[in-house]
Structures are given as C-alpha cells and as structure tokens.
Amino acid sequence: MDSMWMPFLLTLLLSAAAADSSLFEANGVPIVRNISEINQDNYGRLGLSHITIAGSVMHGFKEIEVWLQTFAPGARTPIHRHSCEEIFVVLKGSGTLYLASDSHKNYPGSPQQFPIFTNTTFHIPINDAHQVWNTNEHEDLQFLVIISRPPIKVFIYEDWYMPHTAAKLKFPYYWDELSYGQTAPVKDEL
C-alpha cells in the first residue's frame, strides 16, 4: 500500500475512535468503568492488593480519591499520618485499627486498638498517626478507602515513639509513583 494513504487512513481510524468519545470525559476517562477490569498491584508491599477506583493522578479527580484495597492475613499499612480526611468502608473480613489520637505530644505514642469488621465504617482524624492491620489469620480484609485533597502525601513512622518531625515523607505514594515517572510533581501544601 502506498504510504500516501496513511494520513487518510489515520483520519478514518481517529474518526472511528471519536464516535465513542462522547462516552468519555474531556480528560479521556470513561464515565462508567468496570472495577474488575481496573489494574490491581501490590506496589511492592507484601500481601496488598490496591486498585485506584478513582484517582487524582490517574483520572484527574481534584477533591476526592477512592481505592479498593485487600490485605492478606497479617498484611498491614505502615504507621503513618496525613493531613487529609480519610474514611474506610469495610467490605470483607476483619482486623484492627491502631490509632494514636494524642497529637499534642512529640511522637504518636502507644495507640488505641479498634476492632474493625465487615460492614463497619471508620475514619481517621486529620493528622492522627494510624495503622490498619489484618489481624485475622484466616481471611482477607477488604475495604474501600476514601481520601480528600489528593494526591495523598504520607508521613511514615518506624514505630509509635518516633518523633513527628522524624517521620519520613513518601510522595508521590506507591500507586501514584509510576504515573509521575521520574518527574517530581509540583509541590503544594505538603
């Protein structure tokens, strides 16, 4: 085939694609998406399955982000804090929320323990250090996580007695990292 036809064929192909473009938002994100077809990954964290259902970096949301996370028995988040609102809806399994509510000390201190289980909701007060742990040996723990002010900026503690000022900023976070690639994002209210 002569290469002179290529621009025409390309136009035809693009027109065919555009026929469906009304199903998408201006930023290219489909309005309706099948969650089972969204990529899941453990992002290097043992026992984790993370799906970004609606994301800032991936999908262009500016005010809210929604994740579906599954923790195998024994899997847990790091001890961490962040300055966004965060709400969990537990879909399956059970586990423990560790929460250090006294933010007036120099370090989180010994956390309170809260049992969490299917069909509970829990929230993390802004900037309180916390950790979610699947302490059920027999069952996966699955929940939806909703955060505000994405993309998330996380300060990670090695233990509950590490000073707040020593907690290490992880930004971009694991699941946003690949989308940013090697380019550092613009800094905002970190």
Residue 118 burial (CB count, 10 A): 13
Which single residue is written with the structure tokens 């089972």? 36
User: Is 36 one of the binding residues for its own copies (CB under 8 A)?
Assistant: yes
- The strand pair at 112-117 and 141-148 is best described as unpaired
* Contact by Cβ (8 Å): 114, 96: yes
The distance of closest approach from Cβ of residue 4 to its own copies in the complex, given in angstroms and rounded to an integer, is 37
Stretch that binds its own copies, among 27-35, 72-80, 153-161, 166-174 (CB under 8 A): 27-35
User: Is 87 one of the binding residues for its own copies (CB under 8 A)?
Assistant: yes
Among 43, 47, 73, 85, binds its own copies (CB under 8 A): 85
| Residue 118: closest CA among 141, 99, 92 | 92
User: Is 182 one of the binding residues for its own copies (CB under 8 A)?
Assistant: no
| Cα–Cα dist 56/77, whole Å | 21
User: Is 177 one of the binding residues for its own copies (CB under 8 A)?
Assistant: no
* Contact by Cβ (8 Å): 153, 177: no
Which parts of this chain interact with its own copies (CB under 8 A)?
A: 22-23, 25-26, 29, 31-36, 53-54, 59, 61-64, 66, 84-85, 87, 89, 97, 99, 101, 112, 114-116, 119-123, 125, 144, 146-149
